[in-house]
Amino acid sequence: MKKRILVVSSANIDFVQNVKRMPSGGETVIEKGGYSYVPGGKGANSALAFARLGADTVFCTKVGRDDNAKKLKGLYSAEGIDTRFICEDREAPTGLASIIVEEDGQNRIIVYPGANGFLNENDVEEAFTCYPDGVFVQLEIPDNAVIAAARFAREKSIPFFVDAGPARQGFPLEELRGVEILSPNETECEILTGIKPDSVQNCLKAAIRLATVTEAKYVVIKLGRRGSFIYDGKYYNIIPAHKVTVADTTAAGDVFTAALSYAYLQKGEILEATRFATLAGAICVSRPGASTSIPTLKEIKAFAKSIKEAK
C-alpha cells in the first residue's frame, strides 16, 4: 500500500540562466548558454520526487492568481500530485527563483517568495485532513507554517521530516522537537549551529547540537561530493557520494531528502534509506534543471544495478 506524504513547502517558477562565469560589479557579460523558465521551488521539487518514486503525494503550498500558477498546477496534476491544498493569494504573485548555473554545475539562487510568504497555519491545518502517513517540511515558507506543520504532526503522532533549507539564523529549532529526520546541507548546518561541518569531528559536534535542540531521531547532514553524515543520537555513519559528472546541482538537496524520507517510511532503516537517497541525488546532479532532473524509481533502480555490475 502506498504511503501518503503531505509536503508543506514552496512552489516557484525558476528563471534558469546558464553562464560561463559570473560578471564583476558593473560588468556586462554576453552569454550563449541560454536561459529557460521551468517549474521549481524546494517544495515542488520534493513533491515531484515523492510522486516519481511512487508515493501518494499531497502538496500544500500557496501560489498567485496568475499564469505561472496555472502552469504549475497543470504540471503537478499531470504528475499525479494531489493539488486540493494548493491555496491562491489574491494579491501576491507566484514565487520566482532566479538561478545562475555555472559551467561546473554549481548554482547561485535568488528567491522572490511571492505567495509562498503568505502560507499560514490555517492552510496547513486544512491540508492535514488528507490523513498523511508522513509530513515533509522545508524552510522556504513562513516560520508559523513550518511550526504548525510540525505541531500538527506531533499531536497526531505522524512522522515528520525536515529539509532544513533555506536555513536562517534565529529560526526556533526547538519548535521542531520530535522530528524523525532533520537534514541540512553544509551551509544550512553552519547557519543553524555556528559549526562548519568540514571534518568528521565538526560534523559530529553540529549533529549533536541539532539533535539536542530538536530531539531528532536522526540528523543527516548533506555534504555534497563528500557524501552524507548520519547521527542517531549515539553513533554516526558516513555514506560516500557516487562519482558522476555534475551538470547542475539545482534541486539535488530537495531530491535527496525526499528520497531519504520516502525510503525511510517504507522500512524504517536509516542507512538503507540514505544509500537510496544518495543514488537519487547522484542522478539529479548529472542532469540540468530542477523538475527535469528528478529521477523515477525505475531510474534509481537501474542506476543501482549499473553500479553493482561495475564492481
127 in any annotated domain: yes
Give the predicted TM-score (pTM) of the model: 0.91
Query: Residue 86: CA atoms inside 13 Å, Cβ hemisphere, count?
Result: 25
Indicate the SS3 state at residue 37: strand
Count of domains observed in the chain? 1
Instruction: Give dist(CA 22, CA 209) in Å, integer.
Output: 36
pLDDT of residue 40: 87
Mean pLDDT in residue range 273-291: 93
Residue 41, by phi and psi: left (phi above 0), alpha (psi -120 to 50) or beta? left
Full residue range of the structural domain in which residue 230 is found: 4-20+34-302
Instruction: Give dist(CA 54, CA 44) in Å, integer.
Output: 15
Using alpha carbons, select from 9, 187, 163 the residue that is nearest to residue 108: 187
Does pLDDT of 112 surpass 90?
yes
307 in any annotated domain: no
Mean pLDDT in residue range 226-243: 97
286 in any annotated domain: yes
Mean pLDDT in residue range 245-251: 88
DSSP assigned state of 242: P
Instruction: Give dist(CA 66, CA 20) in Å, integer.
Output: 33
Does pLDDT of 78 surpass 80?
yes
What CATH number should be reported for the domain holding residue 73? 3.40.1190.20
Indicate the SS3 state at residue 139: coil
Neighbours of 152 (CB within 10 A): 20
**pLDDT grade for 109, boundaries at 50, 70 and 90:** confident
Taking the CA atoms of the chain, what radius of gyration do you get in angstroms? 18
pLDDT of residue 224: 94
**pLDDT grade for 16, boundaries at 50, 70 and 90:** confident
81 in any annotated domain: yes
pLDDT of residue 248: 85
Neighbours of 54 (CB within 10 A): 15
Beta sheet of 35-40, edge-to-edge order:
35-40, 12-18, 95-101, 107-112
Mean pLDDT in residue range 63-76: 95
Active site residue 254: yes
Proportion of the chain above pLDDT 90, given as a percent: 81
54 in any annotated domain: yes
Helices (H), the chain: 42-53, 67-78, 121-127, 143-155, 186-193, 200-214, 252-267, 270-285, 297-310
19-27: Cβ within 8 A, 24+ apart: 19/100, 19/101, 19/102, 19/103, 20/102, 20/103, 21/102, 21/103, 22/100, 22/102, 22/108
pLDDT of residue 103: 82
Residue whose C-alpha cell is 497543470: 74
pLDDT of residue 14: 87
107 in any annotated domain: yes
Mean pLDDT in residue range 248-264: 95
Does pLDDT of 311 surpass 80?
no
Indicate the SS3 state at residue 289: coil
Mean pLDDT in residue range 250-276: 96
pLDDT of residue 162: 98
263 in any annotated domain: yes
**Chain length of the chain:** 311
Mean pLDDT in residue range 176-200: 97
What kind and span of H or E run contains 100?
strand 95-101
pLDDT of residue 83: 98
